[in-house]
Amino acid sequence: MEPFRAETLLKAAGNFMTCRILLTAAEMDLFTILAEAPLTASETAKKSGAEPRALTILLDALAALEFLTKENDAYHCRPPLAPLLTAGSSESVLPMILHYTGLWRRWSRLTAVVKGTEIPSRPDAPLRTPSELRAFIGAMDVVAAPRARQIVAALSPGAARSLIDVGGASGTYTVAFLRAVPAMKATLFDLPEVVEIARERMQAEKLLERVTLVPGDFYRDELPAGHDLAFLSAIIHQNSREQNRQLYAKVFRSLVTGGRVVIRDHVMTPDRTGPPEGAIFAINMLVGTAGGGTYTLKEIEEDLGQAGFGNVRLLRDGKHMDALVEAFRPA
């Protein structure tokens, strides 16, 4: 590995500047305002309610970073960026970027959390309005959809006939499973408000007859029983190990004898330094949850074993929260 140079360290320390510029533009919905037609800084200030001088400086920085174009003192967000950064677009990741503005505030408390002067906790009350939740779930689908088919193929679900997708959101993975295995039926379990979003999605995909939508909270409620495959996608990192043991026990009871659970998440190396994205994501859980983190294969195996599972193995290693671990309810 190349030794760090002073400029490398300073660049790493200063990366927050580009991030903050993008987040502020997203919070002010500037990309949506500037997507339809080019506007001057003065015109944009009237539409956004911003202070003209400060907005001009921000718009110039956005143009310098190539998030916007600038021509004849007019700024424009045009394809291919506009569909990704504007509200209401089916391709938009804007709600996910807005989610990062919340993470910015959490991460700003990292020093206090590490010193022990502040203890994060998972809020009980929802942080999003219904429209914000819908947009966020949609953005999650935009991010997840390109890899869902690949993930499903990697875990080879061919023999399974009854899937439970725990915390399945709008059903991105449920759809991928049902497309891959035409004989399969599925249960999607998530919070009541999320299940209604999934209902619309399944109807649009013409899969509603093959899906049972069950509203509930896996922290409080039992999971429906009778499945031969359970899928836990990007769930376990938000939990402490004790919470995961309780969840695995519920999954165990939801499966028939010989049934399989597959977990998609970061799986850390024994020294917890790899993959790097997983180590960084553990910080995200440190500042945002009471006990969440990223786990090694040994820890996942131990916790699954305590719930009764056996034959635990790593199906696929991954750097981008795409590692897969499987285990079975013994026959």
* Average of per-residue pLDDT values in the chain: 94
Mean of pLDDT values over 12-38? 97
User: Sorting pLDDT into bands at 50, 70 and 90, what band is 69?
Assistant: very high
Q: How far apart are CA 51 and CA 68, in angstroms?
A: 19
Q: How far apart are CA 34 and CA 62, in angstroms?
A: 12
- Domain 146-328, CATH among 3.40.50.2020, 3.40.50.150, 3.10.129.10, 3.30.70.2860: 3.40.50.150
Distance, C-alpha 108 to centroid of its chain = 20
Mean of pLDDT values over 293-301? 98
Spell out the SS3 assignment of 253-277: HHEEEEEEEEEEECEECCCCCCCHH
Domain boundaries, the chain: 6-86, 146-328
Proportion of the chain above pLDDT 90, given as a percent: 84
Percent composition of the chain: helix, strand, coil (DSSP 3-state, to 5): 50, 20, 35
Q: Of 245, 271, 268, whose CA–CA distance to 327 is shortest? A: 245
Mean of pLDDT values over 201-210? 97
Q: Which pair of tokens denotes residue 205?
A: 């995909």
Q: Which pair of tokens denotes residue 207?
A: 């899969």
* Residue 12 burial (10 A CB sphere; 0-12, 13-18, 19+): exposed
Model confidence pLDDT, tens digit, residues 97-129:
998 988 999 999 999 999 999 988 655 444 567
Cα Rg, the chain, nearest whole Å:
22
Model confidence pLDDT, tens digit, residues 265-288:
999 999 999 999 999 999 999 999
Q: Which fold has domain 6-86?
A: Arc Repressor Mutant, subunit A (1.10.10)
